[in-house]
Amino acid sequence: MNTNNPAPQSERRIVVLDGYVANSGDLSWEELGRLGDLKVYDRTAPSEVVDRCQGAFAVFVNKVVIDADTIALLPDLKFIGVLATGYNNVDTAAARSAGITVCNVPDYSSASVAQTVFALLLAITNRAETYTDSVVRGDWTNCIDFSYRLSPIEELDGLTMAVYGLGNIGMRVAKIANAFGMKVVSATSKSADSLPDFIEKVPLDEMLRRADVLSLNAPLCNDNRHFICTETLALMKPSAILINTARGGLVDEHALADALQNGKLAAAGLDVLEHEPPHADCPLIGLSNCLITPHVAWQSTAARRRLLKVSAANLAAFISGTPQNSVN
């Protein structure tokens, strides 16, 4: 049972420090609100964190940092809920030492992210938006032929999809690629015997060389920071396409920009950058063969609804004495 002796519901203060991105008003905080006296802030500056959390029993954060110094100033805090899967913005060791449970929301956005991988890929291969803009300009109305071609349209069928990171998202990407008729390869740590028949386990160098499309779906760690760099890009086909919906730090942006500008890589579709929001001098923004979306892969309405539902369930489980999704 929970030894933290939660306060009665009427005295239970719950604070959401940066709720806007997860719920800008199109969803409801009702399930979380049933568990106590809820206060939701759209955004919270670092200087405001301690003051807003004073007296709180539970605090929810998405990207706001809760470090050891902050935890030391919040003696009433018993629970930290992360409105995301990644929780590197919370000092989990300091929280554990203070008797605070930290819970995240795993696997809520896998379908949404995998879908975005192919939204970016199809935008590159089929150029539907480019053709739509052309039609709106009147090009089709004024065309003497029933059809015309602005750029080559590539078929995915028969191409090789390399998946870097075969977790929940990577496996979904592999399954969708297989449904498109693509060959799937991965330099995974999983045993070949544990993989579906349609995924071929290969060495890392071979995966890069064979990739017609490389999808990055691995978490970022010290060992793979700037995995995509001058050396790895040199192994890839000039016709290859890079898709990154994982973490911006997996890519050396200057090396990628050089490859895209100098014919060493055909195109890239990125939902994440190393700095978010990006710096004004980001070398990738504005390149004609680089599509960039603002870290939206995770945020389908269905995924955000699951995020809020599981977040409330995490706190309810903690209050009942049976914590779930604890990361510390």
Annotated active-site residue 129? The verdict is no
- The C-alpha atoms of residue 255 and residue 273 are separated, in whole angstroms, by 13
Which position has the token pair 């995966």?
207
User: Catalytic one among 12, 210, 247, 304?
Assistant: 247
Angstrom distance (rounded) from CA 138 to CA 66: 54
Residue 8 DSSP code? P
Name the active-site residue from 11, 34, 276, 279. 276
Catalytic option among 127, 295, 305, 306 = 295
Helix, strand, or coil (residue 163): strand
| Eight-state DSSP code of residue 82 | E
- The H helix count followed by the E strand count for the chain is 11, 12
Q: Among 113, 204, 224, 99, which Cα is nearest to 162's?
A: 204
Q: Is 276 a catalytic residue?
A: yes
Neighbours of 208 (CB within 10 A): 24
Closest among 34, 29, 31, 36 to 9, alpha carbons compared: 36
226 is catalytic: no
Token pair 């000092």 in the structure block, residue: 91
Active site residues: 247, 276, 295
